[in-house]
Amino acid sequence: MPRPTFIFPALAAGATLLMSPFAHADNAERFTLDETYRQECGECHVAYPPALLPAPAWRQVMRQLDRHYGVDASLDSAMVSHLTKWLETNAGTNARPASTGDAPRMTQTPWFRHEHEEAPQAARRNVGSMARCEACHRSAAEGDYSENTIRFPSRPLGGQP
């Protein structure tokens, strides 16, 4: 039986680890996507993990689907309601987006920038937009961003950034 003076700090350390975002590192990189979300919000771009934005930002996105980063992405109200609920429930808690104008920018949160600090310049140039996750995260369509699935493109992707 360990001495009582060791138990409390050990418990405190353990609890802190559990609350840290990196406690379950593997699971933090694999996101389960609602199937409707994957289909409806993955038709033009990869279905982004809801953890990338906080709930208020997602609500804003869902309110403005007819002006969705330059295009009309309207959905019927039942669909909007379903997707908004799921996004709110699974939204990120440590990502605070900078807004450029009226739309949240998930690629410009301090958290996102920190996560991508080590991305090579050459890869960034080849990909163009950091919103094209699947260019490097080859399993992004399944919500899997684990490190062993990353492969940087060796040539420019083309198309608009």
Q: List contacts with another protein (CB under 8 A).
A: 43-45, 66, 69-76, 129, 131-132, 157-160
Identify which of residues 90 and 129 has a Cβ nearer to another protein in the complex. Answer: 129
Closest approach of another protein to the CB of residue 38, in Å: 14
Identify which of residues 23 and 71 has a Cβ nearer to another protein in the complex. Answer: 71
CB 98 within 8 A of CB 105: yes
H-type alpha helices, the chain = 4-19, 25-28, 35-40, 55-63, 77-89, 110-115, 121-127
Tell me the sheet residues that pair with 150.
137
Identify which of residues 69 and 152 has a Cβ nearer to another protein in the complex. Answer: 69
CB 104 within 8 A of CB 60: yes
Closest approach of another protein to the CB of residue 44, in Å: 5
Identify which of residues 2 and 159 has a Cβ nearer to another protein in the complex. Answer: 159
Closest approach of another protein to the CB of residue 60, in Å: 19
- Start-to-end Cα distance in the chain: 61
**Structure tokens belonging to residue 112:** 């996102």
Closest approach of another protein to the CB of residue 119, in Å: 18
